[in-house]
Amino acid sequence: MRTVLRRPDFRLLFVGLLASMTAESILLLALAIWVKDLTGSDGLAGATIFAVIAPMTLAPLVGWFVDRYPRRPFFVAANLVTAVLLTPLFTVRDAGDVWIVYLVAALYGLSYITLSAALSGLIRQLVPVELLAEANGVLQTVRQGLRLIGPLAGAALYAAIGGWALAGIGMVGFLTAAAVVSALPTPHPPPPTVRLRWPAELGAGLRHLAGEPALRRALFGYGLGSLVMGFSESLIFAYVDEGLGRDPAFVGVLVTVQGVGGLLGGLCSPAVVRRLGEVGTLATGVALFGPAALALAYPDLRLGFAAVLLAGVSLPLTMVGLHTLIQRRTPPGLVGRVAAATEAVISGPQAFSIGAGALLVGFLDYRMLFALIGVATLAAGGYLWRGRH
């Protein structure tokens, strides 16, 4: 990772992204807590997360829009717009204003897809192909590190200074990112591509995913794993309560251990990509979730710590393998559409999985469901591994 950080252009991008990712990490949980505080309803608080996820359905349109503009100025403008989108939060006063929080959450979700698609294209322009895995590994390491402290920091800041001030801090993060990235030298523009009619342009990302064998296999295999991986979001509470006999707040300890695993996975992911390739790294990340889930089927604290640590390692391996594969196997003019379409294809099974897990845990033993996750993710990882070449 030191090699890519020696590049002045990537170092500057890294500083800007550190500011925006910090803002992202503190905002999401804080918005849900704010709704809970205003309404007293757990369901309405959970609906805040759904409002953020819902815009994923617009991903193909977002990707088409992103690919029509130069990467760096578009990324700067998107950060500025995101900062402006947070301003309605200053008008929230009581439970009657919850719709404003939902509106901002939905617009923020749309902005998240836009920034992710633009970032994939910008990294592809700035970084040589041989350093893409390192660049993605650095960003995943930081993202996993922020998962350790960001949500807790956001909750603490909300309790200390309130939602309005928190919105202000988020705005500062996105404005800082815009200011720093605007100082990047203008990269060489990609060669012009043939423009098609807009319906064809809109579906170009999905067609590329379906037509490129490595990407097709990666998304199909990862999608199969995602159909069950989201169960763990609800099952972990049953594991702590029924299995370990501890207070639900103990979930926070397990999440912290998982974050440590995420840091380790992010640090080693470039080396894994160099050794196994992008699809092999993705396969390893998905497969590692299998033994972690199987271990959680047996309630033992020491085994539980090892399991969540392993689950944490698996996530950045999965993300670095997938993102690097997209950037390497996609023409520069299509990266935005392909990245956005990938986000939509992945988020659909994940959202379904989270909802299904919340329902199933009320009817089935959590140990059986963890065993199901373990078997399914091992099978998905095996399918991906067979296509690693």
Torsion angle (degrees, nearest 10) of CA 88, 112, 344, 374: -110
Instruction: Note every long-range contact of 211-217, with CB atoms under 8 Å and residues 24 or more positions apart, other chains counting.
Output: 212/329, 212/330, 213/387, 214/278, 214/279, 214/325, 214/329, 214/387, 215/325, 215/326, 215/329, 215/330, 215/338, 217/279, 217/383, 217/384, 217/387
pLDDT of residue 114: 87
Per-residue pLDDT tens digits for 193-241: 444 454 555 566 677 777 888 888 998 898 888 888 877 877 887 888 8
Domains of the chain: 1-183 (1.20.1250.20), 198-386 (1.20.1250.20)
Better-scored residue on pLDDT, 180 or 28: 180
pLDDT of residue 198: 47
pLDDT of residue 309: 93
Per-residue pLDDT tens digits for 79-129: 999 999 999 988 888 888 889 988 998 898 888 888 888 888 888 888 888
pLDDT of residue 211: 80
pLDDT at 192 over 50: no
pTM (whole model) above 0.75:
yes
Mean pLDDT taken over the chain: 82
- Sequence-ordered list of residues with C-beta below 8 angstroms from that of 153, at least 6 positions apart, any chain: 25, 26
pLDDT of residue 288: 94
DSSP for 329-361 reads HS-GGGHHHHHHHHHHHHHHHHHHHHHHHHHHT
